[in-house]
Amino acid sequence: MIQGKSLQYRSRHLFRLWTVTALWLLAGSVTVSYSTHAQNSYVWTELPDAPFVNRYNDVAFVDETTGWVVHGDGEVFQTVDGGDTWSLQYRNLNAHFRSVAFLDAQHGFAGNVGPGEFGAVEQTPIFETVNGGQIWLPASGFADGPPTGICGMQAVNDSTIVAVGRVRGPAVFVRSIDSGQTWSTVDMSDHAAGLIDVFFTHPDSGLAVGLSNETHSESSAVVVRTTDGGQNWEEIFTSSRTGEWAWKMTFPSRQTGYVSLQRNVEEPIYFLKTVDGGSTWEEKLLFDGRYFVQGMGFVDENTGWVGGNSGQAVLVTTDGGDTWSDDAVRPRINRIRFVNDSLGYAVGRSVYKIQKSVPTGIKRTPIDDENRKIAVYPNPFSQSVTFDLGRGDYSDLRIVDVSGRTIRRFANEGSMLVEWDGHSDTGDPVSSGVYFVVARLGDTIASRPLIRVTEERFK
């Protein structure tokens, strides 16, 4: 019997769990969501045929229809029709691709985080294609030796590409000015413990952001700048707090830029803004609470979005970051890039297309129609839960946690009813919390939130 304070705790705990669940249910209720301000409307469309992965890390488009996405399981996918269909171009299960950039429709690069991070063992830091992604090979020509790993990458023009690495170090900057034939490598350890993103406005002038300490709780965010192609750098900003890494950088204009600040557990959450091309930076409040912020992108100087490695709602601003409001839940956003002022793409748990007006033929209809519903009962559950898929031809069925990490995979035994005993693939019982059952049913992906409540949680 639960009495007094324990009962109050249980009520508060279940309320928090149901709140998160409601947000995820809202996220799955529509195929198109809207961000609106006085002058423009932007439509985010989750691309239904994007391959199912735990999380996409980066996206690069050379025009409105031709682009690539990469993710941590070492795969590169391409689309040539604006995301309507995707093809797997390359797979290297030893790599963890964090970034991708293309000089043109044929010539591109993918950055691997390197050994010791996120389970990667592949030592090649950059892979290169010269035929639109049909063949990917290790990049060569590192006169000063290759970097350990790469996180952020940018194609500055049709011959210059810059990249930085890596999260938790070592800090390094690399650049090629001859379309990847040769690379210069600069040790950045005197300026940062690790670098995560890079942005250049000119082949010789640019910024890099990262961390002052590889231990997150002891780190501040850092911004460094070069005006001579990366040979020399100056530290121009360090955030005033610890427990913070500079994560993603976005410049909608030459003078106005933003940097997202990742905080793992601390609160409140801030971001950085510059209005003078990066010479000075202002710390601004983003969220007065906990939010695992990562991806950030602005379509113009005033309108932008920020998301993170969680199930919280993406936030939108229409006044240059002075105020933010909930937009819609789009889990695990890590990168938002714009092709022009009317079209962009974002990646996280899925791939999203961002358009300035409602696309012809796209209707605001429920994602979970009769062909892709999953019934979950009981929910919440304590010992076991049953999933009714409505069909037995699923090609992938798994349990994931709120961070997108796969907890349990199920083999297809041809039954539409699948029972989960609350244990992981390793046989360990999972703790109380919110989880998601995710299934690929034919050509669609369906998901449902579920809550595990163990009695030990309330003792």
> In whole angstroms, what is the distance from residue 257 CA to residue 294 CA?
15
What residues have CB less than 8 Å from 174, skipping those under 6 apart? 125, 126, 142, 147, 150, 162, 163, 164, 183, 184, 185, 186
Burial class (CB in 10 A: 0-12, 13-18, 19+), 419: exposed
Task: Give mean pLDDT, residues 157-164.
Answer: 97
CATH code: domain of residue 374: 2.60.40.3080
Burial class (CB in 10 A: 0-12, 13-18, 19+), 259: buried
pLDDT tens for 361-406 read 433 333 343 334 678 889 889 889 998 887 667 777 889 887 667 8
> In whole angstroms, what is the distance from residue 89 CA to residue 95 CA?
14
Q: What percent of the chain has pLDDT over 70?
A: 84
- Indicate if 126 and 239 belong to the same structural domain: yes
- Indicate if 344 and 397 belong to the same structural domain: no
Residue 361 lies in a domain: no
CATH code: domain of residue 84: 2.130.10.10
- Indicate if 273 and 397 belong to the same structural domain: no
Q: How many CA atoms lie within 13 A of 388 on its CB side?
A: 7
- Indicate if 18 and 36 belong to the same structural domain: no
- Indicate if 308 and 402 belong to the same structural domain: no
Residue 363 lies in a domain: no
Residue 362 lies in a domain: no
pLDDT tens for 438-453 read 887 665 667 788 889 8
CA triplet 204, 205, 211: central angle to 5 degrees?
A: 120
pLDDT at 171: 98
Q: How many CB atoms lie within 10 A of CB 377?
A: 10
> In whole angstroms, what is the distance from residue 120 CA to residue 294 CA?
21
- Indicate if 398 and 345 belong to the same structural domain: no
- Indicate if 243 and 315 belong to the same structural domain: yes
Task: Give mean pLDDT, residues 122-127.
Answer: 97
Listed residue (354, 366, 239) closest to 305, CA to CA? 354
- Give me the numbers of helices (H) and strands (E) for the chain, helices first please: 1, 36
Question: What range defines the domain where residue 312 resides?
Answer: 32-355
pLDDT at 114: 96
pLDDT at 440: 76
Cβ distance 286 to 380 under 8 Å? Answer: no
pLDDT at 310: 80
pLDDT at 391: 67
pLDDT at 135: 96
Domain total of the chain: 2
- Indicate if 347 and 391 belong to the same structural domain: no
pLDDT at 66: 98
Listed residue (24, 45, 19) closest to 403, CA to CA? 24
Mean pLDDT score of the chain? 86
Helix (H) or strand (E) run with residue 234 in it = strand 234-238
- Indicate if 338 and 412 belong to the same structural domain: no
pLDDT at 419: 92
Two structure tokens written together for 426: 């390793």
Q: Is the dihedral of CA 130, 133, 135, 137 positive or negative?
A: positive
